[in-house]
Each structure stands twice: as C-alpha cells, then as structure tokens.
C-alpha cells in the first residue's frame, strides 16, 4: 500500500508521516513538498529509524512521486493565523489548492485511489477536490471533524478522569466555527455523562467551547498543530488500508443526507477500502438537527464565494 503526502515537509505532513511509520501498515511513503530540501530531510530522518520501526520505502520527490499512490493525503496550505477562522482561509488557500489538484490530475493513480484532504478550510477544499480530481465522490474524503472529535473526547476524559478511549462523543458539521456537538448520544463506555457524580452541564458545555478554540490555542502557543492531527490522519488512513469499516466523522459530499446536498461536511461515516462506504443517519434532537442544517447552510454560502 502506497501513501503520498503532499505538504509532507510541513509540520502536519511530517507528523502524519511519522505516525504512519510507527503504525507500520504503509509499505511505501512518498513525501512531496515545494520545499524540496525540507521534504528530503524529513524522508531521510524517517529512513534513519527504519531499523527500529520496520522496513518501509520512504522517499521524497516532486508530483511524479504521487503516481501509483493508493492514498493521496493533501496537507499543504497556508497556516491559519491565531485569530482567523478556518473559513477566512478560503481567500488565501483556494488558488494554492487548485494548483495542487491540477498537478495530481496529471499523474497516474489506481482506479481505487482515495484522496484525503487535510488542508483548511477542509470542507470547502474537499468540495473542490470532488469537482476537480475526477475520482468518484466516495473516494474523496476530508479529515473533517475527526480532529475536533479527538480533542473533544480527550478533554472530556481529563474532566471526568477516565480513559480517553472510553469517551464516545461526536462533533459533526463544519470543521470550524459552526461545528456541532452531539450531546444526545455522548457517553463514557455506554454510561451517560449525567450519571457521573462530577457531571456539571455548564462545565461540560464549556469544554466544547474550549475545543472549538483549541486549534487556535495550539497555534498561539507553539506556532501550529501537529501531533493530534497526525494521529487523526493515521486513524483515517488505517481505516482505509485495513478496510476496517470504521465509523468516523469525516467530511464527504452530501447527496440527500437529512435533506442536505451539494456540500461537504462531517457526519458519521463508515470508512473502508473504498473510502466513504456508507453514511449513518444519526438520531438527533431538534436543536442538534437545526444546528447541523445551519452548519451546512454556512458552508453553502461560503462555497458561493469560490464559484
């Protein structure tokens, strides 16, 4: 299985490559970046750990290195400023992203290839990728709210003082300001939050508010996110490579889901070797459904700006 990472010389791309190396599932890993020496350095550094992590073919190259990739991960993009919403990035990132898509279209990919868009604003750029790449829509996935959900669960686990892997709480919709927490199905290994003695509704809702700001906080403190997003990318790649049928809140093109069409955003999705294999219509409260529909409208309005 071959994975290429476009933008692999940057913080997000390089941490994703490292996570994939440690995972050991990917046999071949191509690092592509306009900063060619940085990409070469990342590939060399990773290869130096091969005797510890395992035998993998890891190298850097131009867009020609993307050819033959089973999964193309796109992380390249301009960094979000601390006080900038992800949707504000559209004016700075769309032209760059379209250029990347033009280059990817020139290389030969397997018919089963899956594109994973990570660059922000991810839902808008996933829409562009669906239109431009010529792949079936099911084979174009945005990282969506996978990272937001991971952050949310981790922060909730700290508050409740439980194993983070036991926390089951979803964030759906836009990967950005209109993201929607799904409180109605949230639990800790099947136990509703309200059953825990330290449960406080105001505090728990405050954790969601902090989750929304967490990306900007990491940028403010260290200049950019890397580790958690790298693990989130690995989670999606693993689901594809192993055909896991994992249920993940990835972003994909809606075609009638809850009456929503023509926009990419995150809903519970069965992810396997074919990419998006099934969308799960989750039972929501009236308020949650209204918020999710509003999130879709927000993205539709933004899409009109890019034409």
Query: 2-142 — its CATH code?
Result: 3.40.50.720
- CA 33, CA 218: separation in Å to the nearest integer? 23
User: What is the dotted CATH code of the domain comprising 146-306?
Assistant: 3.90.110.10
Q: In this model, does residue 86 exceed pLDDT 60?
A: no
143-179 per-residue burial string, b: 16 or more CB within 10 A, e: under 16? bbbbbbbbbbbebbbebbeeeeeebbbbbbbbbbebb
Report the alpha-carbon distance of residue 107 to residue 296 in Å, rounded.
33
Task: Report the SS3 class of residue 11.
Answer: helix
Are the folds of 2-142 and 146-306 the same? no
Q: 283, 258 in Cβ contact below 8 A? A: no
**Catalytic annotation on 48?**
no
CA 294 to chain CA centroid, Å, is 21
* pLDDT at residue 77, as a whole number: 80
For 197-256, write each residue's pLDDT tens digit.
999 999 999 999 999 999 889 988 998 888 999 999 999 999 999 999 999 999 999 999
Which member of 175, 233, 239, 241 is catalytic? 175
Q: Are 160 and 167 in contact (CB under 8 A)?
A: yes
pLDDT tens track for 117-155: 999 889 999 999 999 999 999 999 999 999 999 999 999
- Domain range summary for the chain, segments of one domain joined by +: 2-142, 146-306
Q: Measured in whole angstroms, how far is the alpha carbon of residue 206 from the centre of its chain?
A: 23
Q: Which of 39-43, 97-101, 214-218 has the highest mean pLDDT?
A: 39-43
Alpha-carbon distances of 217 from 16, 76, 86, 174, 210, rounded to whole Å: 20, 21, 14, 19, 9
């Amino acid at each position: 299985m071959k994975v290429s990472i476009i933008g692999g010389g940057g913080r997000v791309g390089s941490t994703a490559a490292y996570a994939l190396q440690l995972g050991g599932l990917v046999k071949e890993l191509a690092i592509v970046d306009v900063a060619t020496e940085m990409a070469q350095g990342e590939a060399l550094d990773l290869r130096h750990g091969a005797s510890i992590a395992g035998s993998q073919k890891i190298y850097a190259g131009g867009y020609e290195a993307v050819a033959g990739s089973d999964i193309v991960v796109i992380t390249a993009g301009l960094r979000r400023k601390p006080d900038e919403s992800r949707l504000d990035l559209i004016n700075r990132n769309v032209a760059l992203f379209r250029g990347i898509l033009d280059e990817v279209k020139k290389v030969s990919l397997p018919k089963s290839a899956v594109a994973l868009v990570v660059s922000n604003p991810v839902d808008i750029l996933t829409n562009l990728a669906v239109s431009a790449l010529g792949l079936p829509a099911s084979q174009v996935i945005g990282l969506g709210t996978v990272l937001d959900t991971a952050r949310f669960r981790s922060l909730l686990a700290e508050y409740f003082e439980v194993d983070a892997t036991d926390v089951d709480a979803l964030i759906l919709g836009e990967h950005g300001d209109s993201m929607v927490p799904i409180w109605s199905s949230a639990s800790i290994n099947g136990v509703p939050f309200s059953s825990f003695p330290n449960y406080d509704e105001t505090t728990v809702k405050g954790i969601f508010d902090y989750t929304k700001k967490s990306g900007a906080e990491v940028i403010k403190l260290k200049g950019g996110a890397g580790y958690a997003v790298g693990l989130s990318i690995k989670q999606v790649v693993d689901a594809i490579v192993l055909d896991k049928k994992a249920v993940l809140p990835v972003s994909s093109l809606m075609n009638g889901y809850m009456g929503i069409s023509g926009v990419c955003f995150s809903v519970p999705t069965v992810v396997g070797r074919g990419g998006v294999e099934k969308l799960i219509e989750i039972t929501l409260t009236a308020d949650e459904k209204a918020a999710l529909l509003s999130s879709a409208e927000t993205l539709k309005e933004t899409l009109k700006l890019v034409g």
